[in-house]
Structure 1
Amino acid sequence: MTKIGTTGGRRALLPVVLLAALAAGCGTQRAADDTAAAGATPHGATATPSTPVDRPCPGESTTPTPQAPTPSASPTAPPQDHYAENHGFMVPFPLHGDRRCQGIEEAGRVRKALEPLRRRGDFSTDAVREALLGLGYPAERVETSRNGPTSVDFLVQADDYPVCVEGDMNRARTETDAFGGYPDQTGCDRPTGGH
């Protein structure tokens, strides 16, 4: 007995089955420590990706800071400029959990060490560098640069994770920010080339 038309139906079904198998397994597996940290058991139901929820760090205000809504791409929207996509390698990683608290602490230490220089009006890169080295950071992990006559930019790699502290000391204030490095490279230096 000859069956007519079943081979073509099977070939048409093959891409659908493969796509369903890939979609079912995509993004559902997590490391045991990540799953436990998210509140699920490692052997429980299928895990789903989630946004990390950060607890207040010591000395931090418990009032949440408002966050700007993230734009969502519509599947029917026309393609937009790919600038953000092409320059994503220059967007630093945010810190979460204990690393976030460490970053806040390191940024506070740096700000506290530089405030006396700012109040005195000492905006030399050497003075800023010496103040940062005085906090115990290794010389090869401290960078300073002039940003005008009364402004100094700085970058410190606080540890190998990395926890990075960058900022600017100027007449008005000392600003610091902590982050977790950049995609596609180690260390705290902002990448200059793309993909």
Structure 2
Amino acid sequence: MPLSISGRPGSPTMTGLALVAVLCLGGCGEQRATDSTAGAPTGTSRSAAAGASGASPYVEPGAGDGAPHYNENNGYRRPGDMSPASATDATREADRIRPVLKRLWERKKWDPATVRAALLDLGYEEERTGSNGKPNGGTLTVRAMNSRFTDGREVTPEGASVGLRVHADACVTAFVQKSNYEVTTNGPYPETGCFEPPSGH
């Protein structure tokens, strides 16, 4: 049944309807706070309520790529801290290894067997592990480079990766390959010891 409103201009009924119409039209287009933005000023968008910088409220401080839980998910890729004394010892060992890798690189000799033999000549012992998988003597590990995906397939590049455990909290990590060589010092990684873990987990 159609609704009919009767009244004369200036009557209380017409004045009340006019006031309701003005209030309805005045609110058009205004954004209202929802439960998720409660406490933000009326008309403020969710992203503005998150902060003047526009940063997501879910980003951890210092997160590398801004993803939620970045620090937690990438903890295994962070080396441990070295004490100052251990760092000094690691630097000394790195200075012994660097000229050997430079010489091998210049001679185009970067296969793991050749690199291992050259470093054992410096007096290091190859690291051994017991049946429980824990270190059981020796400090040097030389192995092939980590494989990586190239053109949709897994490829292991030519070269050798080197890990030397100097102390429980200090390592020398190095590699030599066709394009270059590098020697660095670092604390051990939680899951992979002296070697930096590959990307992905």
**Aligned match of 1:110:** 97
* CA gap 1:171/1:93 in 2 versus in 1, 3 angstroms: same
Larger Rg: 2
Instruction: Report the Cα distance in structure 1 between the residues aligned to 2:161 and 2:111, rounded to whole angstroms.
Output: 10
Q: By percentage of residues, which structure has more helix?
A: 1
- Structure 1 residue matching 2:184: 3-state secondary structure: strand
Aligned-pair identity (%): 30
**Aligned match of 2:37:** none
Gaps of 5+ in 2: 1-52, 60-67, 128-139, 146-155
**Aligned match of 2:58:** 79
RMSD: 3.0
Superposed, 1:1-150 pairs within 5 Å as 78-80=57-59, 81-140=68-127, 141-146=140-145, 148-149=157-158
Instruction: Give the aligned residue type for 1:97.
Output: P
Instruction: Report the Cα distance in structure 1 between the residues aligned to 2:112 and 2:143, rounded to whole angstroms.
Output: 6
Instruction: Report the Cα distance in structure 1 between the residues aligned to 2:195 and 2:175, rounded to whole angstroms.
Output: 15
Instruction: Report the Cα distance in structure 2 between the residues aligned to 1:101 and 1:170, rounded to whole angstroms.
Output: 27
Instruction: Give the aligned residue type for 2:72.
Output: E
Instruction: Report the Cα distance in structure 1 between the residues aligned to 2:188 and 2:104, rounded to whole angstroms.
Output: 27
Q: Deviations over 1:91-121 (max 9, x none)?
A: 1024342222212111111111222111111
- Structure 1 residue matching 2:89: 3-state secondary structure: helix
Question: Is 2:162 the counterpart of 1:154?
Answer: yes
Gaps of 5+ in 1: 1-73
Contact 1:123–1:170, Cα closer than 8 Å, also in 2 = yes
Instruction: Give the aligned residue type for 1:188.
Output: C
Q: Deviations over 1:77-98 (max 9, x none)?
A: 6112112222213210243422
Instruction: Give the aligned residue type for 1:148.
Output: P
Contact 1:103–1:165, Cα closer than 8 Å, also in 2 = yes
Q: Deviations over 1:151-178 (max 9, x none)?
A: 322222123x232111221344320111
Instruction: Report the Cα distance in structure 2 between the residues aligned to 1:120 and 1:96, rounded to whole angstroms.
Output: 36
Match for residue 188 of structure 2 among 164, 181, 191: 181
Instruction: Report the Cα distance in structure 2 between the residues aligned to 1:170 and 1:94, rounded to whole angstroms.
Output: 28
Instruction: Report the Cα distance in structure 2 between the residues aligned to 1:153 and 1:107, rounded to whole angstroms.
Output: 14
Q: What TM-score, normalized by structure 1, do the two folds share? A: 0.50
Structure 1 residue 139: Cα displacement: 0.9
Instruction: Report the Cα distance in structure 1 between the residues aligned to 2:196 and 2:182, rounded to whole angstroms.
Output: 18
Where does structure 1 differ by over 2 angstroms across 4 or more consecutive aligned residues?
170-174, 185-192
Q: How many residues align?
A: 117
Instruction: Report the Cα distance in structure 2 between the residues aligned to 1:179 and 1:128, rounded to whole angstroms.
Output: 20
